[in-house]
């Protein structure tokens, strides 16, 4: 039986949000490809690692990890049944035999103790409603002296792309910024908070490396705009607006997107933490 602690996140990711990601999986995977290449270049993954991928989504990163850890195994965990269906199908098509997936809430899932060398998450660990409990639970799966590696957004002030969306769609509203540690894109943005959470969860040697690479929304303006209109942040920031106000806000966003068209695609700056730690 599936046990869920993050009820709101499960509702979104096993619902409309997950459906959009599944339908546009290759597009979403390409958005962060530059940041992902930087992670792969860090050589944090070893050929014989057993790995758990928290919030694996449609499995692009999980598959890449499985190819590197060719003498190990990779378990992908996610809340979304439909995203996992795609992850399994593509993994099978690619002939990967050292990979498996399970629908689960990592905060409470009964992982096998001391079963992995590396617990990893690609933007999937910022939304825990009780991060200490979540990382304590994940930590039980990590072998003594095993590693943790997380990719997570830095603060709003470091991420142009989020400011472009928020400023364009504010429509005269003062949009709140989630407080430090709240389940949100910025749940792991504050270094002191992360050190406290991970320390209380049984990890040490917590480190931070900034990765500053652009996000790509499309090959050109028309391509990007078709995609952007359906992403979750646009839906969320416009759902309470009346139709005239919504149309005006979307036009403002449309103009901003056009201004970011380059020869290499529609690009906006991002900044991400690569957070690393070691289990006690």
Give the SS3 label for residue 37: helix
Report all structural domains of the chain as residue ranges with CATH numbers, in order of start.
7-156+180-218+269-279 (3.40.50.150)
CB-based contacts of 234: which residues, under 8 Å, 6+ apart? Answer: 165, 169, 228, 250, 253
Q: Is the pLDDT of residue 229 over 60?
A: yes
What mean pLDDT comes out for the span 178-194?
Answer: 91
pLDDT (tens digit, 9 = 90+) per residue, 60-87? 999 999 999 999 999 999 999 999 999 9
CA distance 268 to 32: 11
Q: 26: buried, middle or exposed (CB in 10 Å: 19+, 13-18, 0-12)? A: exposed
pTM for this prediction: 0.93
pLDDT (tens digit, 9 = 90+) per residue, 5-33? 555 554 555 556 768 888 999 999 999 99
CA distance 219 to 77: 31
CA distance 83 to 28: 12
Mean pLDDT of the chain: 93
Position 19 scores a pLDDT of 81
Contact 18, 82 (CB under 8 A): yes
Position 172 scores a pLDDT of 96
């Amino acid at each position: 039986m599936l046990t869920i602690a993050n009820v709101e996140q499960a509702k979104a990711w096993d619902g409309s949000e997950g459906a959009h990601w599944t339908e546009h999986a290759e597009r979403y995977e390409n958005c962060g490809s530059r940041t992902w290449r930087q992670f792969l270049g860090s050589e944090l993954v070893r050929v014989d690692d057993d790995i758990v991928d928290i919030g694996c989504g449609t499995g692009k990163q999980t598959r890449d990890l499985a190819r590197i850890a060719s003498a190990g195994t990779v378990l992908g965990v996610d809340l979304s049944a439909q995203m996992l269906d795609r992850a399994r199908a593509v993994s099978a098509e690619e002939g990967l035999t050292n990979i498996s997936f399970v629908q689960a809430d990592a905060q409470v899932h009964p992982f096998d103790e001391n079963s992995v060398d590396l617990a990893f998450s690609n933007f999937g660990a910022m939304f825990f409603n009780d991060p200490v409990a979540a990382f304590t639970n994940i930590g039980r799966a990590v072998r003594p002296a095993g590693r943790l590696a997380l990719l997570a957004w830095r603060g709003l002030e470091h991420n142009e792309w989020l400011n472009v969306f928020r400023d364009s769609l504010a429509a005269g509203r003062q949009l709140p910024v989630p407080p430090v540690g709240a389940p949100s894109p910025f749940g792991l943005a504050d270094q002191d908070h992360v050190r406290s959470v991970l320390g209380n969860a049984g990890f040490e040697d917590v480190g931070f490396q900034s990765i500053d690479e652009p996000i790509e929304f499309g090959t050109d303006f028309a391509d990007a705009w078709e995609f952007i209109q359906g992403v979750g942040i646009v839906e969320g920031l416009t759902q309470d607006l009346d139709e005239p106000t919504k149309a005006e806000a979307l036009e403002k966003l449309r103009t901003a997107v056009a201004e970011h068209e380059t020869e290499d695609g529609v690009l906006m700056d991002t900044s991400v933490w690569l957070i690393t730690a070691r289990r006690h």
